[in-house]
Amino acid sequence: MSRVLVVDDEPQIVRALAINLRARGYEVCTAGDGGEALERAATHPPDVVILDLGLPDLDGVDVITGLRGWTTVPILVLSGRSDSIDKVDALDAGADDYVTKPFGMEELIARLRAMLRRNTSTETDPVVEFGDVAVDLAATRVTVGRHEVRLTPTEWHLLTVLVRHPGKLLSHRQLLTEVWGPGYDTAHGNLRLYIAQLRRKLEPEPTRPRFFLTEPGMGYRFQP
Q: How confident is the model at residue 79 (pLDDT cuts 50, 70, 90)?
A: confident
CATH of 3-120, one of 3.40.720.10, 3.30.1600.10, 3.40.50.2300, 3.40.50.720: 3.40.50.2300
pLDDT at 184: 78
Q: What is the pLDDT of residues 169-187, one digit of tens each?
A: 999 988 998 888 777 777 8
From 159, 105, 112, 110, select the one nearest 136 (Cα to Cα).
159
Is residue 47 within 8 Å of residue 3, measured between CB atoms? yes
Judged against a pLDDT cut of 70, whether residue 122 lies above it is answered with no
pLDDT at 114: 87
CA dihedral 180, 185, 189, 192 (to 10 degrees): 70
Mean residue pLDDT of the chain comes to 89
pLDDT at 120: 64
Q: Which amino acid is at 96?
A: D
- Please give the pLDDT value at position 25: 94
Q: 3-120 and 127-222: same fold?
A: no
- Identify the pLDDT of residue 1: 79
CB 1 within 8 A of CB 25: yes
- Which residues lie closer than 8 Å to 9 by C-beta, 6 or more apart? 32, 33, 52, 54, 55, 56
Q: How confident is the model at residue 123 (pLDDT cuts 50, 70, 90)?
A: very low
CA atoms within 13 A on the CB side of 122: 1
The structural domains of the chain, with segments of one domain joined by +, span 3-120, 127-222
Q: Which numeric CATH code is attached to 127-222?
A: 1.10.10.10
Q: What pLDDT, in 10s, does the model give residues 210-223?
A: 999 999 989 999 99
In this prediction, residue 82 carries a pLDDT of: 62
67 near 41, Cβ under 8 Å? yes
